[in-house]
Amino acid sequence: MNNNQMATLGGGCFWCIEAIFQRVEGVNSVVSGYSGGNTENPTMEEIYGGDTHHAEVIQLTFDPNIISYKDLLEIFFVMHDPTTLNRQGNDIGEEYRSIIFYHNDDQKKVAESSTKNFAAKLWKDPIVTEVVPYKKFWPAEENQQNFFNNNSQVGYCQVIINPKVQKLRQEFSSKLKAV
């Protein structure tokens, strides 16, 4: 019986959070894409143009018998900075905002609680993560999918993503897939 659930999260560059959640036990698939805007089936060029109001997100399917939504959100809040509005590191713009798109009332409750109780204690600055209802997701272009795994030697991957993957291994070793 398949009881997989879906989660849609934005924490800056989708390449970064895609690489993180691909390594988490119980996560069955991760797709990079766009959500939260007003343009149907947006392209990357439209997103970076700034008028679509979409965020770069990942949409993942997970087995709640292996990893809970709460655990996913704890990883999410540790692995990106939820205190910087429309920014992660050098990536600046609305598309890089911290956002949780909940798929049902249970996810909404967990997201609100995690934001207020877990993230707020983890970070000294105020949490700016949006918690909003999920509406629509558009997968990013094929060359944007599985980016770190396919391009690990590229400078951005080495300097920005690889340290996050190393942090994930240190902070959440018990929640990672066997290599």
Catalytic residue among 9, 13, 19, 131: 13
Residue 133 backbone phi and psi in degrees, to 5:
-65, 140
Q: Is 16 a catalytic residue?
A: no
Number of residues that make up the chain: 179
Q: What is the pairing mode between strands 87-88 and 130-133? A: unpaired
Helices (H) and strands (E) in the chain, counts: 8, 8
Are 32 and 97 contacting, i.e. CB atoms less than 8 angstroms apart? Answer: no
Task: Give the residue among 163, 3, 179 at the shortest CA–CA distance from 89.
Answer: 163
Distance from the Cα of residue 62 to its chain's centroid: 13
Task: Tell me the CA distances in angstroms from 112 to 10, 170, 173, one per residue in order.
Answer: 15, 26, 26
**3-state SS, residue 20:** helix
Q: Which residues are catalytic?
A: 13
